[in-house]
Amino acid sequence: MQIRLKFMLWLYGWSQDLYTNLFKRNQNAWGISKSELSLFPEETLGRALGEFYQINGFDVMPKLENHDIFHVITQTGTEIQDEIAMQYLLLGNGKRSLYMFSMILIGTFLYPEFLGYYQAHFKKGKRMNSFHQVEFKDYLDSHLQSVKAKFMYKNQLFL
């Protein structure tokens, strides 16, 4: 495994607890397990999130559920360059946080070969309706395509 990937994975692991305890301390975890998400009706956001966890071999990280929803509705992958691209997308969408800026700075420094990919995600975030502040727990019963249509692109009609 490359040194830079090892470093980013270590940094992510180390910062995850700090982020949830410091920046998300007033936010509640959803209290929904991966198996409970799989019980949502087909084609709902809840089921799609459960499938996202299953396909990627992930489990629910308390207080970070919204981030995983971001992957589902934006169809952004989970490789290290995708996680950095997600931060660029959120920046384009209007989010501002110390954590996000730190990940963008460190990620861009360590993975400069993906700069065009990051810029494309920034532009994608700018084109989307603001979603970074939405509590998606309230949308778990909603049809996945309806949720995507609501947040995906400004001034675009979806049928």
Q: What is the DSSP string of the chain?
A: --HHHHHHHHHHHHHHHHHHHHTSTTSPP----HHHHTTSPTTBHHHHHHHHHHHHT----TT-HHHHHHHHHHT---SHHHHHHHHHHHHHTT---HHHHHHHHHHHHH-GGGHHHHHHHHHHHHHSPP-TT--GGGGTTSBHHHHHHHHS-TT----
CA distances from 91 to 26, 63, 122 (A): 22, 20, 7
Separation of alpha carbons 76 and 82, rounded Å = 6
Residue pair 92/125 in contact by the 8 Å Cβ criterion: yes
pLDDT of residue 15: 77
User: Which tens digit of pLDDT belongs to each residue from 42-98?
Assistant: 999 999 999 999 999 999 988 889 999 999 999 999 999 999 999 999 999 999 998
User: Which tens digit of pLDDT belongs to each residue from 83-125?
Assistant: 999 999 999 999 999 889 999 999 999 999 999 999 999 999 9
How many Cβ atoms from other residues are within 10 Å of residue 20's Cβ?
16
Confidence of residue 154 (pLDDT cuts 50, 70, 90): low
- Judged against a pLDDT cut of 70, whether residue 155 lies above it is answered with no
Confidence of residue 11 (pLDDT cuts 50, 70, 90): confident
- Judged against a pLDDT cut of 80, whether residue 39 lies above it is answered with yes
